[in-house]
Amino acid sequence: MAILFYIFAAVAVIAGLNVVLQRRPVYSALWLIVVLCALAVEYLLLGAVFMAFIQIIVYAGAIMVLFVLVIMLLNAHHEEPTHGSQFAQWLGAPLVVALLVEIGVAVWSWPGAAHVNPPPLRAGPKSVGDLLFHQYVLPFEVTSALILVAILGAVVLARKES
């Protein structure tokens, strides 16, 4: 079980580095699909079965389609570095160092796996459905209004000037 976690964590990190390092936006988008699929396996290992498959269906499926379409619409052939960004030049490296130190301190002071006892999670579609349609009925119905607003927004944004 733990070995599966490390394998897919490594896949996610390597693919994530490739998302940043690839010079062609389409390659970055394809590597991002690998990141999302590796994270889906990690959700599965945590017991969040429903989340894992939603990750594949919505993120790796639908949202990546939109990413690729946007890359196509913008005609992004090669990445164009912005030379005018002073912010990245002066603050980038110190912020990376600060982040690494923070992660290092967190890992160093971690008491170890024996002290962490997460409750067993069995978040399959049945338990999600039971919660969603009994306890969280109102948020569920409000979600439809949210999606409706998003549909209107998409149509209005993409309308042709007449």
Partner 1 sequence: MLSPYIPILVQAIIVAGLGAAILGVSALVGVRKRSSEKLAPYECGIAPVGNARGRFSVSFYLVGMLFILFDVEAVFLYPWAVVFKSLHWAGFIEMFLYILILLAGYVYVWKKGALDWTR
Binding site for partner 1 (CB under 8 A): 1, 4, 44-45, 47, 50, 53-54, 57-58, 61-63, 65-66, 69-70, 72-73, 75, 77, 125-126, 128-130, 132-134, 137, 140-141, 143-145, 147-148, 150-152, 154-155, 158-160
Least distance (Å) between residue 48 CB and partner 1: 12
Nearer to partner 1, 107 or 158 (CB): 158
Q: Is 108 exposed, middle or buried (0-12, 13-18, 19+ CB in 10 A)?
A: exposed
Least distance (Å) between residue 147 CB and partner 1: 5
Nearer to partner 1, 20 or 156 (CB): 156
Distance CA 144, CA 137 (A): 11
Least distance (Å) between residue 63 CB and partner 1: 6
Q: Is 136 helix (H, G, I), strand (E, B) or coil?
A: coil
* Structure-block tokens of residue 154: 């998409």
Distances (CA, A) of 88 to 32, 96, 98, 100: 23, 11, 15, 17
Nearer to partner 1, 20 or 155 (CB): 155
Nearer to partner 1, 98 or 131 (CB): 131
DSSP per-residue letters across 77-130? -S----TT-HHHHHHHHHHHHHHHHHHHHHHHT---GGG--PPP----HHHHHH
Least distance (Å) between residue 90 CB and partner 1: 35
Least distance (Å) between residue 35 CB and partner 1: 16
